[in-house]
Chains A and B, each alone.
Chain A
């Protein structure tokens, strides 16, 4: 728990991250992600409760924790007047790595993050993506057991984001580094995390494997586009396969009770009813649906907008459809 005066920023965060996994910590701005990470990385003392990182209590043994963690915080606060090489040298000294080992390690890391050619340049000349990659290299200099990445791709272009994702996967799969990743991007959590926790207003509201969490939300939505004059007839057919869900104008949506396996049956029934099918699309529940189901509001896009189920909305509260997402 962490209080700032009367404000409780984090409360009731009870979770265990297993060795060797990528754990995604997902939530909107101000949900308590960064405060939690700051406590786990010894930057903030918890005002209540207990947190253990790499076997050490963050409040009673912060120095031991610091030796074992790598941290890349938001905004990659890197001295723009230093070169990549100089910062890696500095990092090595701060962690007590001897000179020869530090030189080898720096060379490996620079190559790994694709900054060998830029290593002699001042960081002030780096792009945002290059800074994040250097930040990652700095966090890995001492081969940490646990790596904390606080919104590592915020503000990055899609290419830089993909590069960073690849690097995180490599660290986890090849080197066995445990990664705790905070993000407000659903796709990032979906792509990278073995397990996720959703935090909202300082509390964990869901925790588990993304696939399972999505499955718990409910059936996938089948979007069907039919001619306007046949829409009512199509609705009568579709209602036999599940609940009718609100959709964008011009389409009908049905929550398939039997999942994707029910599609063939839907197609046959629509055909038998003489309905011309223009287009179909199956949308699996997304993490945003999980988030919406847990909190009553959406994480992506209109973050602050409460969802108002349209007429004929499904029984699941706060659902919002996201076309084309996994």
Chain B
């Protein structure tokens, strides 16, 4: 089959840039998230609601032996709120990618000369931005309630960076399933599983208060280290290299591993076309 020859050498002056394409697609994904306040609100409201509920229910737990020295349970719970927000945001970003596939925008992109990895990375950028925004809002809101980040400005910035990386890593991982299935329902359906993994970690309680098999599970759950790293910036005055490793390096490694999985899923999907 033959469809028309070129009537002239076209578009010789067009220069596709993967960076420009990724940034343009990232802008679209961020705008898309911000323009859905009803979908965005739960990821801001629920973690704060959960933090307030925990603070009122477990206020006296902070006096238990082995519990870290904190001003309030709310201070202890700040990292948990940030983590929850990051996971909420990650789910939405991955679901947005699945919606693109389901509703045909993906095909629009596929018929254009856009770099294939830009499509995925651009889509995931919203989780990075929203993760940072959530962390900032949570810290600002809890600061108004008297919660201090003891490690100061460097700790605050580190929490924001960590939240972004956690959100990006999780959304990238979930995007693997979005690309495989093209189903927003499957991606949304994974959120309870993520939430269970959070409960099987030291996100909501310190490891020192846990025993038996539960403690073993928490010890091997990477989410425990993310939460403890982030929490370390909140409740410890001294900045330690270990906390940076937990809060920044681990999610960074997670991002790379998740991206490798995601790009593998992308290659497979493209090969099946």
Q: Which of B1, B16, B28, B35 has the most CB of A within 10 A?
A: B1
User: A66 to chain B: which residues have CB within 8 Å?
Assistant: 111-113
Which of A45, A52, A77 interacts with B3 by CB under 8 Å?
A52
Instruction: Decide if A81 touches B108 in the complex (CB within 8 Å).
Output: no
Question: How many A residues touch the partner, as a band?
Answer: 35 or more
Instruction: Decide if B3 touches A178 in the complex (CB within 8 Å).
Output: yes
Binds A, one of B4-12, B155-163, B211-219: B4-12
Instruction: Decide if B14 touches A67 in the complex (CB within 8 Å).
Output: yes
Q: Does A79 contact B (CB under 8 A)?
A: yes
Instruction: Decide if B107 touches A73 in the complex (CB within 8 Å).
Output: yes
Instruction: Decide if A68 touches B11 in the complex (CB within 8 Å).
Output: yes
A143 to B7, CA, bound (A): 11
Smallest CB gap from B14: residue in A: A96
Q: Does B140 contact A (CB under 8 A)?
A: no
The secondary structure that dominates the B interface is: loop
Enumerate B208-237 residues with CB–CB distance to A below 8 Å: none
Instruction: Decide if B111 touches A97 in the complex (CB within 8 Å).
Output: no
Instruction: Decide if A95 touches B16 in the complex (CB within 8 Å).
Output: yes
Binds B, one of A83-91, A212-220, A256-264: A83-91
Instruction: Decide if B1 touches A51 in the complex (CB within 8 Å).
Output: yes
Q: Does A82 contact B (CB under 8 A)?
A: yes
Chain B interfacial residues counted at CB < 8 A? 35
Q: Does A302 contact B (CB under 8 A)?
A: no
Q: How far is the CB of B15 from chain A (nearest CB, A)?
A: 5
A226 to B120, CA, bound (A): 70
Instruction: Decide if A81 touches B7 in the complex (CB within 8 Å).
Output: no
User: B28 to chain A: which residues have CB within 8 Å?
Assistant: 79, 82, 86, 90
Q: How far is the CB of B239 from chain A (nearest CB, A)?
A: 40
Instruction: Decide if B113 touches A54 in the complex (CB within 8 Å).
Output: no
Q: Does B57 contact A (CB under 8 A)?
A: no
User: B35 to chain A: which residues have CB within 8 Å?
Assistant: 81, 122
Q: Which of B27, B35, B108, B273 has the most CB of A within 10 A?
A: B108
Instruction: Decide if A54 touches B4 in the complex (CB within 8 Å).
Output: yes
- Contacts A50-B1, A90-B24, A94-B21; A67 near B105 (Cβ below 8 A): no
Q: How far is the CB of B14 from chain A (nearest CB, A)?
A: 4
Instruction: Decide if A68 touches B6 in the complex (CB within 8 Å).
Output: yes
User: B107 to chain A: which residues have CB within 8 Å?
Assistant: 43, 73, 77
Instruction: Decide if A93 touches B3 in the complex (CB within 8 Å).
Output: no
A71 to B108, CA, bound (A): 8
Instruction: Decide if A13 touches B3 in the complex (CB within 8 Å).
Output: no
Instruction: Decide if B3 touches A40 in the complex (CB within 8 Å).
Output: yes
A75 to B6, CA, bound (A): 28
User: B104 to chain A: which residues have CB within 8 Å?
Assistant: 73, 75, 77
A133 to B20, CA, bound (A): 26
Q: How far is the CB of B116 from chain A (nearest CB, A)?
A: 10
Enumerate B99-116 residues with CB–CB distance to A below 8 Å: 103-105, 107-114
Which of A67, A89, A142, A146 interacts with B24 by CB under 8 Å?
A89
A251 to B32, CA, bound (A): 61
Instruction: Decide if B111 touches A43 in the complex (CB within 8 Å).
Output: yes
Q: How far is the CB of A172 from chain B (nearest CB, A)?
A: 12
Enumerate A200-228 residues with CB–CB distance to B below 8 Å: none
Instruction: Decide if A180 touches B3 in the complex (CB within 8 Å).
Output: yes
- Contacts A44-B273, A81-B32; A94 near B112 (Cβ below 8 A): yes
Q: Does B25 contact A (CB under 8 A)?
A: yes
Enumerate A92-147 residues with CB–CB distance to B below 8 Å: 93-98, 122, 138, 142-143, 145-146
User: B20 to chain A: which residues have CB within 8 Å?
Assistant: 93, 96
Contact with B along A5-36 (1 / 0, CB 8 A): 00000000111111111010000000000001
- Contacts A79-B28, A93-B20, A93-B24; A145 near B114 (Cβ below 8 A): no
User: B31 to chain A: which residues have CB within 8 Å?
Assistant: 81-82, 86
User: B16 to chain A: which residues have CB within 8 Å?
Assistant: 94-96
User: A42 to chain B: which residues have CB within 8 Å?
Assistant: 110-111
Smallest CB gap from B119: residue in A: A94
Which of A13, A49, A54, A142 interacts with B6 by CB under 8 Å?
A54
User: A67 to chain B: which residues have CB within 8 Å?
Assistant: 10-11, 14, 113
Q: Does A313 contact B (CB under 8 A)?
A: no
User: A53 to chain B: which residues have CB within 8 Å?
Assistant: 2-4
Instruction: Decide if B7 touches A19 in the complex (CB within 8 Å).
Output: yes
Instruction: Decide if A41 touches B5 in the complex (CB within 8 Å).
Output: no
Q: How far is the CB of B207 from chain A (nearest CB, A)?
A: 42
Enumerate B106-162 residues with CB–CB distance to A below 8 Å: 107-114
A95 to B2, CA, bound (A): 23
Smallest CB gap from B109: residue in A: A94
Binding site for A on B (CB under 8 A): 1-7, 10-11, 14-17, 20-21, 24-25, 27-28, 31-32, 35-36, 103-105, 107-114, 273
Report the 8 A-B pairs with minimum CB-CB distance, sorted nearest first: A77-B104, A96-B16, A178-B4, A96-B14, A93-B24, A71-B111, A51-B1, A17-B3
Query: What are some 23 contacts across the A-B interface (CB < 8 A)?
Result: A14-B1, A16-B1, A19-B5, A20-B7, A23-B3, A43-B107, A43-B273, A54-B5, A66-B113, A79-B28, A86-B28, A90-B25, A94-B21, A94-B24, A94-B112, A94-B114, A95-B113, A96-B15, A96-B17, A143-B11, A145-B10, A146-B3, A180-B3
Given contacts A81-B31, A142-B14, 6 further A-B contacts (CB under 8 A): A68-B6, A68-B11, A82-B28, A89-B24, A94-B114, A178-B7
